[in-house]
Structure 1
């Protein structure tokens, strides 16, 4: 518990330090592969998002999903790749494994489907090598190229707005 508090402190410190010098240009022609970072409590929206993406020309096998889970139970089986505090090192980086591979993958689009300012998920979004990032509007953090302001439970509204903006930008 105390170690997690220290980890969170260092992550918040590094996020604040790098917040203002993160201007990058995103030059991709068309979106082919997508990373979906989703919080465990919003997992019911996953299939709706996938259905909307498939309806707009994205193949389901081109979507990689990473689920953030706050607490893990000992004998719990997990069907999707998950991450949590256990994957976090003391210096704010992530241990080798699926999370590190997810961050290193050069997605054409990263969808950050979370609304709570969770330092671990913000760090994954920040460190991601994705060319284009989309997510919800967070009050103090601007890591996404597109911020959609809808309720997190409205997955259809979120994906409709996201697809609308991506079509305007000629990325879909």
Structure 2
């Protein structure tokens, strides 16, 4: 119990360090590769994201979705990449190889589609090497370049808003 609190504190320090050293640069390059982070208890429709990205001409193989599950038993039915609290060590150390690959991938856009303030999800969002980060309102505003104020269950509204902003920013 005490070790868990120390681990969380060390990971929060790592997040703050990454945020302080973050270099925000904006480019008008079109979106080619997209990463999505989900919290499985809030939204679990992977196919909805894939269909949406296909509708804006982003190929299925250029979309990578990972989901956070709090209990390993919930992940038995998933075909996609998932991660849980056991995949995180001290000082931002990631123990899951697939998750580390996701973080190291330079996505054109990273979408953090969750509302719950979970340290492990925040760590992935901040540590990602994505060029442009989109998130939902309610979490620390420093994490994202674009914040959309919708609930995870309002996916249709989210799609419309994201498409509108990506068009305005000349990303699609």
TM-score (norm 1): 0.89
2:131 aligns with: 131
| Structure 2 residues not aligned, in runs of 5+ | none
| Structure 1 residues not aligned, in runs of 5+ | none
1:22 aligns with: 22
1:92-107 matches, cutoff 5 A: 92-107=92-107
TM-score (norm 2): 0.89
- Cα distance, 1:50 vs structure 2: 2.1
Higher mean C-alpha deviation, range 71-80 or range 143-152: 71-80
For 1:8 and 1:55, locate their aligned partners in 2 and report how far apart those are by CA, in whole Å.
39
Question: Does structure 1 retain, via aligned residues, the 8 Å contact 2:67–2:83?
Answer: yes
**Structure 1 residues 125 and 151: CA distance shift in structure 2, 3 A:** same
- Cα distance, 1:96 vs structure 2: 4.9
1:111 aligns with: 111
Question: Does structure 2 retain, via aligned residues, the 8 Å contact 1:106–1:131?
Answer: yes
Higher mean C-alpha deviation, range 129-138 or range 74-83: 74-83
- Cα distance, 1:12 vs structure 2: 1.9
**Structure 1 residues 36 and 74: CA distance shift in structure 2, 3 A:** closer
Higher mean C-alpha deviation, range 34-43 or range 121-130: 34-43
Instruction: Give RMSD over aligned pairs.
Output: 2.1
For 1:49 and 1:96, locate their aligned partners in 2 and report how far apart those are by CA, in whole Å.
23
**Structure 1 residues 69 and 139: CA distance shift in structure 2, 3 A:** closer
Per-residue CA distance 1:4-38 (angstroms, 9 max, x = gap): 33322212233234445534113251000100111
Question: Does structure 1 retain, via aligned residues, the 8 Å contact 2:68–2:84?
Answer: yes
